[in-house]
Structures are given as C-alpha cells and as structure tokens.
Amino acid sequence: MELPFSFPQNRRIEHLVENRTVYTAKSAELNVFETHHFADNVILQFHQPVFASMIEGKKVMHLREGSFEFLPGESLIMPADEIMKIDFPEAKMDNPTKCLAMTIAPEKINQIVADMNLHLGRSEEMSPWDLGHFNFAFTNSKMVSEIIQRIIYLFVEDHTSKDMFIDSMLKELIVRVVQKQNRNLLERKSSKLQTSNRIAFVIEYIKSHLSEPITIAQLSKMAYMSESNFYRVFKNELGVSPVQFINECRVEKAIDMLRVPGIQVKEVYMACGFNNLSYFVRTFKKVKEMTPSQFKSKTFLD
C-alpha cells in the first residue's frame, strides 16, 4: 500500500508526532498520520467508528484488550470513542511512520449491515450480521488491500463523483470486514460452537483433517445441506469458498512446518494434504505472495 503521487508533497509538517492530513467525504473522513520522531503513550481518540491501516513503519498499539505491534499490511477497526495509546519506537525524520485512519458515519455502517442481512442470508444458528462493537485487528487480504488503496486514491483525487465512488468502496470494505470478523470468531471458537453450529462443525473437521482428502460433497453431507446450499452459506459466512478456506488452512499449517530447521518442502506439501508439488507451490504463492522455498529462506535469513 502506498500514498498516491498526488498526496501533497509540499504539505506543511506542523507536528513531528502524528502530523495529520485530512480529506473529507459525505460518509467518511480520511486522516493520514505521519510521525517523524520517537514517541510513546500518544493518546488518540475518534468519536465515530474508525478503520485504521498501516502504510509504513511500525506502531505499538495499547488497547483495552492488550498491546500489539501494528505493521504495514495490517488493519484495525475500532468502535467510536475507543482510547488508543500508541508508541512509535522506530520513527525518524528520514523514515516516518505513516498510517491512515478513516472514520465512517455510523448510519452508513448501519445501512450496509442492513443490506447484508437482506441479501446475504445466514444459517439459522447465527444471529443477524453486525459490525462487532470491539477492537478487531487483522492482516489484510489482497482484496482488502486493493480496496484501501482505491479509497486512498479517491479521497486524494477529489473527483466530482467522489462520494458515490467512496460509498461503493465502503460497502465492499465493510462487508469483507464483517465476514472476516465472523470467520475469526468461528475459527477461534469452532470447538465450542460445533455442537450448535453446522459451519463451526465443518470448520473443526477441516482443521483436524488437513492432511486427508476433503471434498465439498463430504462437507455438505456433514452439514446436512445440498452442495449448492452449503457452498452459498459457507461463502456468505466466511467470505471465501470452502476450497479456498481449506487451502488457506493448509498453507498456514505449511508455514508452521517450514519454520522447522532442516525440513524439506516435499515433506511439507504431503503432510498438508496437497496432492502434488506444483499445486502446493501455486496455492502457497497465491496466499503468501512468495513460494514455499522463498518463505523458508526468508524465515531463516531473518
């Protein structure tokens, strides 16, 4: 992710810590924060729900749930009035930390979530769609990164139809974040939810049988659904198809194995349920944007 060339190059830097450049639209406000000096315990608060994403550098975020490093390629969504304490351990004049924070009008979020409940049917075990009123940090998917990049350009470009374009991007962003929240919940609590939630039961089965062949026909029977209905419900709930979810879980297992010194790529792909090496390499690269060998080399180089 990067700021467009049209981002003002001659802007006045009035503050070395969290210097703020603001762009406004009808339903959202984009803030670009730049920090050029080491700082810690910097307090920041917004009175609307906020979507934050790192562009360059590193922050350490201290929220009510705990502390964590906030790095490029990661995002965070927070409810209104959440108090953040932020450290900038590596910020320098020649290497500033850059982060965007986009506040979104609550009525816009409510409208998008209402559309989800109208058009994205849920399984009967699940409550209506909602953007949780808690802090949620996650690693951007390729699609989320592209949406964020597009939103930045739309704000900075200031097109005459900017509000219409941004509303469209906000809708896709919120839908994907809500689905990602739901996926995170189902994956973390699948063992507890599996007796009362069919999708959680399927997830728990997938996680426990990654080294074995898994078919959609098999999973749909376990969920007591037709294949077409299972596919639709699964993708609605998690934002990815069953096959994509299985492959991503297998890649995550492969990542853990590749961190073991001396292990060979051939051993990894067979243990993770891939039926041939070329398919494993293609799938791994699609998820991680590097090959298994490149990941292994980078891991031990770092």
Q: What is the pLDDT of residues 109-142, one digit of tens each?
A: 999 999 999 988 777 777 899 998 889 999 998 8
Can 1-188 and 189-302 be said to share one CATH topology?
Answer: no
pLDDT given at position 18: 86
Task: Tell me: pLDDT of 206 over 90.
Answer: yes
Distance CA 224, CA 132 (A): 29
Q: Where on the phi/psi map is residue 185: left (φ > 0), alpha (ψ -120 to 50), or beta?
A: alpha
pLDDT for the residue 199: 93
pLDDT of 180: 94
Contact 44, 57 (CB under 8 A): no
CA distance 78 to 45: 10
Answer yes or no: is pLDDT of 298 > 60.
Answer: yes
Domain 1-188 has CATH 3.40.718.10: no
Mean pLDDT of 279-302: 86
213 band by pLDDT with thresholds 50, 70 and 90: very high
pLDDT in tens, 3-42: 666 566 555 556 788 899 999 999 999 999 999 999 999 9
Rounded to the nearest integer, the mean pLDDT of the chain is 91
In the DSSP assignment, the letter for residue 136 is E
243 CB-contact burial (10 Å; exposed 0-12 / middle 13-18 / buried 19+)? middle
* Integer Cα distance of 133 and 114 in angstroms: 16
- Statement: residue 2 has pLDDT above 80: no
Selected residue with higher pLDDT from 88 and 126? 88
* pLDDT at residue 14, as a whole number: 61
Instruction: Please tell me the class of the 189-302 domain.
Output: mainly alpha
0.75 surpassed by pTM: yes
Instruction: Convert the pLDDT of each residue in 227-277 to its tens digit.
Output: 999 999 999 999 999 999 999 999 999 999 999 988 888 889 999 999 899
The pLDDT of residue 120 is 85
Count of CB atoms within 10 A of residue 85's CB?
14
**Domain spans in the chain, listed from the N-terminal domain onward:** 1-188, 189-302
